[in-house]
Structure 1
Amino acid sequence: MTTDLVAAALAARLRAYAPYSRFQVGAALRCDGVIHAGCNVENAAYPQGNCAEASAISAMVMAGGRRIDEIVIVGSGEAPCTPCGGCRQRLREFGAPELPVRIVNAQGELLLDTTLEALLPWSFGPDHLVSRPGQEDTGR
Structure 2
Amino acid sequence: MAANDLFERAHTVMGRAHAPYSRFPVGAAIRTSDGRIYAGCNVEVVSFPEGWCAETTAIGQMVADGGGTIAEIAVVAEKKRLCTPCGGCRQRIAEFGSAATRVHLCDAATGIVETVGLADLLPRSFEAESLG
TM-score (norm 2): 0.92
Q: Give per-residue Cα distances to partners, 1:98-128, cap 9 Å, x unaligned.
A: 1000011112422331111000001122354
- CA distance, structure 1, for counterparts of residue 72 and residue 25 of structure 2: 21
Aligned to 1:59: 61
Q: Judge conservation of contact 2:81–2:106 (CA < 8 Å) in 1.
A: no
Partner secondary structure for residue 124 of structure 1: coil
TM-score (norm 1): 0.87
Aligned to 1:5: 6
- CA distance, structure 2, for counterparts of residue 15 and residue 76 of structure 1: 11
Q: Judge conservation of contact 1:18–1:40 (CA < 8 Å) in 2.
A: yes
Aligned to 1:27: 28
Q: Judge conservation of contact 1:6–1:108 (CA < 8 Å) in 2.
A: no
Q: Structure 1 or 2: larger strand share?
A: 2
Aligned to 2:76: 74
* Higher alpha-carbon Rg: 1
Alignment match of 2:106 (pick from 94, 104, 126): 104
Instruction: Give me the CA root mean square deviation.
Output: 1.4
Alignment match of 2:121 (pick from 110, 116, 119): 119
Count of residues in correspondence between the two structures: 130
Partner secondary structure for residue 29 of structure 1: strand
Q: Judge conservation of contact 2:39–2:61 (CA < 8 Å) in 1.
A: yes
Letter in 2 for 1:115: G
Q: Judge conservation of contact 2:7–2:112 (CA < 8 Å) in 1.
A: no
1:90 equivalent in alignment to 2:89:
no
Q: Judge conservation of contact 1:38–1:52 (CA < 8 Å) in 2.
A: yes
Q: Judge conservation of contact 1:104–1:110 (CA < 8 Å) in 2.
A: yes
Q: Give per-residue Cα distances to partners, 1:7-53, cap 9 Å, x unaligned.
A: 11011101100011110000000112110000000011000011000
Q: Judge conservation of contact 1:11–1:26 (CA < 8 Å) in 2.
A: yes
Letter in 1 for 2:69: R
Q: Judge conservation of contact 2:73–2:103 (CA < 8 Å) in 1.
A: yes
- CA distance, structure 2, for counterparts of residue 58 and residue 108 of structure 1: 27
